Structure 1
Amino acid sequence: MEPRPDAELLRAWQGGDPSAGQELVRRHAPRITRFFRNKVSAPVEDLVQDTFLALLEGHQRIDQPDKLPHYLYGIAHNVLRAYIRSSIKARQIDEGASSMAALDPGPTSIIARRREHRLLLQALRRIPIQHQIALELYYWEGLNTVDIAAILGLSASAMRSRMGRARELLERELELLAESTAELESTVGGLDNWVAGIRQQMATDEALPS
């Protein structure tokens, strides 16, 4: 039996079927967990819960059911902002300049098994937050620049420019972190494969019993 599409489940939930909402939470919890895992040092469960509580409160207002994942990422982004403001006790954060490594320097919940994976995860946390989010949504979640632009509140043209700059900043951080030219070339040259490897590892972690 084919799983019910998001749009159908959301309409059922909006129509008063709580089981449809529960199915959407089960379906999308892994992607929202991934969103937070390489960003914060705190346990991500509370942030994931905050995201879905906000969805519960606002699901009746969603008028594009087929865009539910994008709506969820937008909520998660706002939850991340609130976490950062609370953690460093600041009202405003410049996401185009501040990195998660600087704002929240503790270790994240991802335990990388390959040196290249560790380098890449560290480098992602050392670039500005909006750049990190953009690259992770692009590489790990397969979103295109138009969708990422909508999530981050940018124009499509600005997002294309941001993506190019994000890759440049990532390579620069990899250069600083790599212990040898060979390690740098391996990580940068095989970037797509290493990113896919991290994504696969997170999927494996998600399948393990808690």
Structure 2
Amino acid sequence: MTRDDWQVDASLLEAWRDGDTEAGAALFDRHSDAVARFFENKVREGTDDLIQQTFLRLIEGRARIREGVAVRAFVLGVARNILREHLRKLARGREVDPEVESMAALAPGPTTVVGRCREHRLLLEGLRRLPVSHQIALELFYWEGLNANQIADLLGISHSAMRSRMTRARELLRAAMAEIAESRELLESTVDGLDGWAAQLRGQLGGS
């Protein structure tokens, strides 16, 4: 988000805290696509419920958004907490290790997001085969335009650790796609054009 976007959010947040419900609705509209994108390639069923829970949690916690904290980062942090609770349900109460376990293992079956081409579908499925923490990091980078430091702040880890994670996540993504690609040509096309394929997918996700 640009500085102007941040200032718009800050103004809307201040008005919402003062009781302006239309300002609150405007904030929801500005960030609903990002929340939808956060869940769509992770959760196979109940995405709408998780989106609703995220914004209900935002309503309850809006007073805790600190000055200088981007509303989108706060909302995505809430979405991450909602996802962690959902993962425990998928694992029947067992604590899930997001550094190890993947959405493909926790919620088996193909992604419900429909890619428009083979590269899209390979990328989406490859992401779901990563440890959840790595999937989150890459999707925040490619789909929300957050840099490594911003993602680190959102996830609560050091900036240096996040830079290492991003490198490792890209390595794991290539390996995951190599396992399931229909051909070497498809794999190379997806890897070589990763930024472009990811940008195209962003336009298809979250109702954009």
State the TM-score, normalizing by the size of structure 1: 0.92
CA contact (8 A) 1:11 1:65 kept: no
Partner of 1:101: 104
Quote the offset at 1:66 in angstroms: 4.7
CA contact (8 A) 2:111 2:125 kept: no
Gapped runs of 5+ residues in structure 1? none
Quote the offset at 1:30 in angstroms: 0.8
Quote the offset at 1:18 in angstroms: 1.7
- The 5 A counterparts of 1:36-47 are 36-47=39-50
AA in 1 matched with 2:169: A
Please tell me whether residue 193 in structure 1 is matched to residue 182 in structure 2: no
Partner of 1:26: 29
Aligned with residue 122 of structure 1, among 125, 136, 141: 125
CA contact (8 A) 2:40 2:205 kept: no
Greater RCO structure (CA 8 Å; 6+ sep) = 2
CA contact (8 A) 2:38 2:79 kept: yes
Partner of 1:50: 53
* Per-residue deviation, residues 159-189 of structure 1 (Å, max 9, x unmatched): 0000000000000011111122111111111
Please tell me whether residue 133 in structure 1 is matched to residue 155 in structure 2: no
AA in 2 matched with 1:26: D
Mapped partners of 2:62, 2:125: distance in 1: 35
State the TM-score, normalizing by the size of structure 2: 0.93
Identity within the alignment, %: 51
Mapped partners of 1:182, 1:111: distance in 2: 21
AA in 1 matched with 2:185: A
Partner of 2:66: 63
RMSD of the TM alignment (CA)? 1.6
CA contact (8 A) 1:32 1:76 kept: yes
Question: What SS does the corresponding residue of 2:28 show, helix, strand or coil?
Answer: helix
Matched length: 204
Please tell me whether residue 164 in structure 1 is matched to residue 167 in structure 2: yes
Mapped partners of 1:154, 1:137: distance in 2: 15
Which runs of structure 1 show a deviation greater than 3 angstroms over 4 or more consecutive aligned residues?
A: 106-109
- The 5 A counterparts of 1:166-181 are 166-181=169-184
Gapped runs of 5+ residues in structure 2? none
